[in-house]
Structure 1
Amino acid sequence: MPHSPTVSITEFAVADRDAGPYGIAAGPDGALWFTLVHHGRIGRITRDGDHTSYRLASASGGPSVIAAGPDGALWFTEFRGHRIGRVSTAGDVTAFPLPTPDAGPFGITPGPDGALWFTEAGADRIGRITTDGQVTEFPLPVTGAFPSAIAAGPDDRLWFTMNQADAIGAIEGDGTVTVHTLPTPGAAPVGITAGADGALWFVEIGAGRIGRITPGDRIDEFALPDPAARPHAIATGPDGNCWFTEWGANRVGRITADGRVDEHDLPSPSSEPHGIALGPDGALWTALETGAIARLAVK
């Protein structure tokens, strides 16, 4: 049986408590980049905690999820501004408005085709944007689905959560969508990531579970010790297991391939952990909505 890891946690204050650090991703420059959802800024933090941030055109655009693109820049969604943004590692920002009004872009990930793929939570669509800003949108076969997070799978499809439809979707490069309904009603999946085992792992914020789906369509669900933990985001860690944030319980958890769960309390109470990412230093980094970034060194 895998041993429980030893985790050392350091928190770095990066903004006012109302700024809302939310999404986080490793950049090509060795730093971590994060969104400040309530202040309309993109932040950057080094391993030592040195940080800065860059102002977007609108303070109310709601930058949400961020991902490293294939062009050496960071790409992010603006949920309230209905734009896709790009920031270079020098801090130069470009914004691309979406064709569909009130699209509500949320999740974003690099695809196997060299483009960025994103969800449109307000429009029930999956979008694709090239690095020069060309946008294509694909409608989902389900209305009111609220597509949320998205990740590239091992099968060259993009896999995404359908928060209000209690389902996981997969989209091919030509826009063909397959929908997998989850066994648990009210699961409300949000975060999703490609696991080291060739499956997609996701969190069920409404049911307090972690789910796993294979490209062959097998679904497993694992209950967390605290059903009210509100798991939010998930990423593959340095140990090959999946690590996730518990927004409602102020913890970060780890789940092994066989469903064993370990949980680790964050030092600051009620810190509201959201996005989580594996850093270039081999640590896990998570954005705390109360104004900090936490680094979790795993041994």
Structure 2
Amino acid sequence: MKYRWATFTVVFGALLGLAAAPAMAAPEEAISVGGTPVRVAIAADGTAYLGNYGQGGGVFVVPAGAARASRTISTGGHPATGLALGPDSTLYVATSDDAGQNVVGVVPAGGMGMARTIPVPAGRHSLAAGPDGTLYVANPEGNTVSVIAPNGTAVDRTVKVGAGPAEVTVTKDGTAFVSNQIAGTVSVIPAGADTVSKTVEFVSDTGTSQAPHGIAAGPDGTVYVAVIKSSDIAVIKPGASDVADRIYVEGGPQDVAIAPDGTLYVTSLLTQKLSVIRPEASDVSGSLPTEGGPAHLAVAPDGSVIVISPGSSPGGGAVSRFSAAALAAASHDSTAATPAESGAPTAAAQANEAAAQPSPGSWNALPAVVAGGATAAVVAVVALILVNGRRRKAGLAAGASQAG
């Protein structure tokens, strides 16, 4: 019993401290948009496209360097749940039509609306476009990925992947990598293939998923995976079937993006930070506070980074732009955190594990984000208190292996 109350005291005290702490510093620049932004894609000319999951749907268009949207691309009043830009600047939007059918809308470069739609399976989808224009659509409800050929009008083929596909990235040679959050795997789909060629596992010693989520491919074909429950970025080298390295990032990293020079940017929901990892570095070089719980992000051609914090209520989200100069300054500031020297999980790490545990019916592309960072933290604390007694002995050993 004394261990339960000790854990309760530490975690509850930490929450009280967060509530009493002054507000975090303002982001480098706020971008004013309405609705509930959940996705971002940035074109080669620096134009940012922000998918609105809120009322009215649509995609906000923010010119390079602008502080507000110049126009909105209509999605027929339906929420936008996924975005991708093709190599010819065609914008793809995951949404639904008036009949309730899930579709991918096709917006030609510079277009004011969807020129056509492509039916896809039910669910909320993340999208990724390959270098030849092939589009990959993650289907978390069916544990598949739909592949649409360049300029296609229908799904060309469907590839079976692991449970809960959350995000997709495509390397320069056309290989697609899919993070399966519930299964705890990353599926590898070669260009033109209709089956997975290999699977990289992200499972703890106790057999539970470490919740791989955000995923990005570097210029050299190296793939980086944000692993929520082990609080790290996993590094998969070209052609490899296993993880080559792990870079610790505190607070359950949600998403990762990579700049042309190989710099990694990582959002962490619980710590509300944007972390910077320099090319070839083995730890975080520095970090900046974000406006609320950050989720998806994208790197602009000028080196700036746009971060979305969806918020916990309609219209309560925030979009922030961090300049290249601010990011460079942060990366020279040694603020990197390291795991506890004892190797045992901290209360925050255990709480993060409880919050990150996906369920078959959840929207794995946005775990606990739309519900709000504060709510997720409280739920995690309650879950921690309930299970702490039964897992005190076994949990320390298992948690230590997950935090490694």
Residues 179 and 187, structure 2, Cα contact 8 Å, conserved in 1: yes
Sequence identity, in percent?
A: 21
- TM-score using structure 1 length: 0.83
Per the TM alignment, residue 95 of structure 1 is displaced from its structure 2 partner at its CA by 5.2
Q: Does 1:167 align with 2:177?
A: no
Which amino acid in 1 is paired with 2:156? T
Residues 274 and 290, structure 2, Cα contact 8 Å, conserved in 1: no
Question: Which moved further from structure 2: 197-206 or 131-140?
Answer: 131-140
Distance 1:99 1:69 in 2: 18
Alignment of 1:127-276 (within 5 A): 127-129=146-148, 130-140=150-160, 142=162, 145-172=163-190, 173-177=192-196, 178-184=198-204, 185-214=208-237, 215-219=239-243, 220-224=245-249, 226=250, 229-237=251-259, 239-256=261-278, 257-266=280-289, 268=291, 271-276=292-297
- Determine which structure has the larger helix proportion and give its number: 2
Q: Structure 1 252/139 Cα, relative in aligned 2: closer, same or farther at 3 Å?
A: same
Distance 2:306 2:46 in 1: 13
Q: Structure 1 113/90 Cα, relative in aligned 2: closer, same or farther at 3 Å?
A: closer
Residues 195 and 241, structure 1, Cα contact 8 Å, conserved in 2: no
- TM-score using structure 2 length: 0.63
- In the alignment, which residue of structure 2 is the partner of 1:296? 322
Which is bigger in relative contact order (C-alpha 8 A, separation at least 6)? 1
Distance 1:188 1:68 in 2: 26
- In the alignment, which residue of structure 2 is the partner of 1:43? 60
CA offset digits 1:171-204 (Å, max 9, x no partner): 1212120221125343111111112453100101
Residues 84 and 128, structure 2, Cα contact 8 Å, conserved in 1: yes
Per the TM alignment, residue 11 of structure 1 is displaced from its structure 2 partner at its CA by 1.6
- Determine which structure has the larger strand proportion and give its number: 1
Q: Structure 1 157/133 Cα, relative in aligned 2: closer, same or farther at 3 Å?
A: same
Which amino acid in 2 is paired with 1:200? V
Alignment of 1:57-96 (within 5 A): 57-59=76-78, 62-78=79-95, 82-88=102-108, 89-94=110-115, 96=117
- In the alignment, which residue of structure 2 is the partner of 1:5? none
Which amino acid in 2 is paired with 1:66? L
Residues 201 and 242, structure 2, Cα contact 8 Å, conserved in 1: no
Structure whose CA Rg is larger: 2
Which amino acid in 1 is paired with 2:287? H
Residues 75 and 85, structure 1, Cα contact 8 Å, conserved in 2: yes
Question: Which moved further from structure 2: 165-174 or 149-158?
Answer: 149-158
Per the TM alignment, residue 284 of structure 1 is displaced from its structure 2 partner at its CA by 1.1
CA offset digits 1:236-262 (Å, max 9, x no partner): 125421111112221111224332113
Show structure 1 runs of 5+ residues with no match: 1-7
